[in-house]
Amino acid sequence: MEGKNAFWFLENIDLSGIFCPKKFGAREAEFIHKTYKKGEFIYIPDSEADLLFYITKGRVKIGTYGEGGKEIIKAVIHKGEVFGELVLVGEEKRRDFAQALEPTTLCALSKRDLPTLLRDRNELQIFLLKVMGSRVLEMEKRLESLVFKDSRTRVIEFLVDLAEKKGERVGYETVVRKFFTHQEIANLTATSRQTVTTVLNDLRSRNILIFDRKRLLIRDLDLLRKEIESSVPE
């Protein structure tokens, strides 16, 4: 088995049962359950790194700040995923921020409980290794895109990747619900809001996709992929 299929047996892991157990005896209080409003920070840079988080509802963006306070989004984490995983490799203080993109509910495990849980649940060890490895690969991919590809290509690649990971097939079309704002896409692709708006409007004018604040509908995903091939380096 190769690629993502090598971890097919992890798809049935009950992460909600691990992070949000309905019954956990006398230690139940050690599992933290929190809700956050849209825009509320879960943690900020230099705050204590003592928890590993699991999203039961909502979305969270992970980011940092560049020169002049410019926001740089590193990742957007969805329901059923984990974040804050650097506590596993000895992170004492957070280097990034985590902010709710919408009303969000989290379950969290204390760093002090992780060694025992990882020892008892071998499948969780492998799952978290996969999470960390996939995020390293994703960051490498984004760095290569930033260095070697123009801004238009980066925006289109983001749309294709979003459709492949989060899209739903509806006939011959692909719909992505809970679409991003133009500024969020700009922060994720290291471009400007104006560039994102220009690219999206161009693709819409040619009937390749349509969008609003709530969703993105790609009429022909293969045609959108061809837009990447036709882009010219800056």
Domain 3-138 in CATH 2.60.120.10: yes
Q: Which residues contact 199 (CB under 8 A, 6 or more apart)?
A: 152, 155, 156
pTM exceeds 0.95 for this model? no
Q: Tell me what the pLDDT averaged over the chain comes to.
A: 84
Query: Is 170 or 103 the better-scoring residue by pLDDT?
Result: 103
- Specify whether the CB–CB gap between 33 and 20 falls below 8 A: yes
Fold match, 3-138 / 149-230: no
- Three-state SS at 226: helix
pLDDT at 124: 80
- Range in 14-18, 51-55, 135-139, 208-212 the model is least confident about: 14-18
Distances (CA, A) of 50 to 27, 77, 108, 123, 210: 17, 19, 10, 22, 42
- Specify whether the CB–CB gap between 219 and 208 falls below 8 A: yes
Q: How far apart are CA 90 and CA 86, in angstroms?
A: 7
Which helix (H) or strand (E) segment is 130 a member of? helix 122-148
Residue ranges of domains in the chain: 3-138, 149-230
pLDDT exceeds cutoff 80 at 17:
no
- Range in 23-37, 132-146, 179-193 the model is least confident about: 23-37
Q: What is the tens place of the pLDDT at every residue in 30-44?
A: 567 899 999 999 999
Distances (CA, A) of 115 to 57, 83, 88, 122, 124: 26, 17, 9, 11, 11
The token duo for 175 is 């719909």
At 206, which amino acid appears? R
Summarize the chain as % helix, strand, coil (round to 5): 45, 25, 30
Q: How far apart are CA 59 and CA 81, in angstroms?
A: 9
CATH architecture type of domain 149-230: Orthogonal Bundle (1.10)
Q: Could you give the percent of the chain with pLDDT greater than 90?
A: 47
